[in-house]
Amino acid sequence: MSKREFDKFLKERFETEINWYDKQSYTNKFWFNALSIYVIAGSIIVPILISYLDVSQLLIKIIIAVTSGSVAIAASINNLFKFQENWINYRTTCETLRKEKSYYLGNVDDYSRAKDKEALFIERVEAIISRENTLWLTVQKIEKNKTSS
């Protein structure tokens, strides 16, 4: 493999994947934390409203009902979209790819013995990406089977 081909792989495939996993990790972490904080806050607010306010007032009843319902919706969305699991999986894949580049650049592990370091790097990077894709597909199939049963 030529240096130019390898540099093209690094730029067009490797860095693109790193950036995608990094962004997806951040996005899923944000939504997991935001929805979790909302569920916690809403769960605390409802009993306080019921305990200390005049529940016979229509506005208070509406606020309590909307807050309770939105807490249930937020918890369900968090569960449905698996933001925490996705965040962890994407972060793990991103960091595993970064570690692989460090091994390649440091000429450690299998790279110190490889005849073609670039080919080994590409093979290992593709295996990491493939493993994450396979995991995602497996989870989707399990979820589909759960909902269709």
Report the predicted TM-score, pTM, of the whole model to 2 decimal places: 0.84
Q: Which amino acid is at 64?
A: I
Residue 134, burial from CB neighbour count under 10 angstroms (0-12, 13-18, 19+): exposed
H-only helix segments in the chain: 3-9, 15-52, 58-81, 83-106, 117-148
pLDDT of residue 41: 97
Residue position matching structure tokens 């933001």:
83
pLDDT of residue 70: 97
Neighbouring residues of 17: CB distance < 8 A, sequence distance ≥ 6: 97, 125, 129
State how far the Cα of 35 lies from the Cα of 37, in Å rounded to an integer: 5
Neighbouring residues of 79: CB distance < 8 A, sequence distance ≥ 6: none
Mean pLDDT for back-to-back runs of 10 residues, the chain (149 residues):
92 97 98 98 93 85 94 96 95 97 95 95 95 78 72
pLDDT of residue 57: 87
